[in-house]
Amino acid sequence: MYTPKYYKVTDMEEIKDFISKNSFAIFVSTRDGRSIATHLPILFQQEGEDYVVTGHMAYGNPQWKTLQESEEILLIIQGPHSYISSSWYENENVPTWNYQAVHLYGTPTILSQEDLVQDLTRLLEKYESHRPDGALWNTLSRDLLDKELRGIVGFKIKVNEVQAAFKLSQNRNDRDYETIIEKLRAEEDENSHQIAKVMAKRLDN
């Protein structure tokens, strides 16, 4: 991913936090010379000195076969993004776009049934444990779980390379930067508000 030095992020704690909050990824692999992609939820974890990504896809999705065939796959994690009008700058310039994105390259393997159950248990705990009567693994019927397990394939990706770009107007002067935050807060879409929030947090730090 092309990443100018202003926008490159290497702090793994910051990257981990970003992925945790934006954990619906695009899984990209190649089969028969053609790129294919699936949108799916993931878990990003540290195992010893390694970072790994786990998830699952439908057995009916032929892309799962690339887990056996590919030496490397790409995961794309997209965060908030927003149009930036150059009318907000002190000096004449062209408009641009602010965004946050992470690319993960890694080696895929297929999870065993036991490891898949553990991964699904963790996934449900992340998204259900705070809910009254949450749909946790041990609250669902055995028949339902057995049926669903037959229809999915679990995977683990050992991450070999992390590329992170947080393009947040770091190249603008302080006055422009603060004006951009103010203007984004006045926009009507949630993405603009999210970018403003991230930019303001960086200003505070």
For each of the chain's 205 residues, which pLDDT tens digit applies? 999 999 999 999 999 999 999 999 999 999 988 999 999 999 999 999 999 999 999 999 999 999 998 899 999 999 999 999 999 999 988 999 999 999 999 999 999 999 999 999 999 999 999 999 899 999 989 999 999 999 999 999 999 999 999 999 999 999 999 999 999 999 999 999 999 999 999 887 7
Q: Where are the domains of the chain?
A: 12-171
What is the token pair recorded at 91? 């000096």
User: Which candidate, 27, 12, 30, places its Cα nearest to that of 78?
Assistant: 27
Say if residues 3 and 48 touch (Cβ distance below 8 Å): no
CATH 3.20.20.100 fits 12-171, yes or no: no
Say if residues 89 and 176 touch (Cβ distance below 8 Å): yes
User: Which candidate, 62, 13, 68, places its Cα nearest to that of 36?
Assistant: 62
pTM (2 decimals)?
Answer: 0.93
What is the token pair recorded at 51? 């970072």
SS3 11: coil
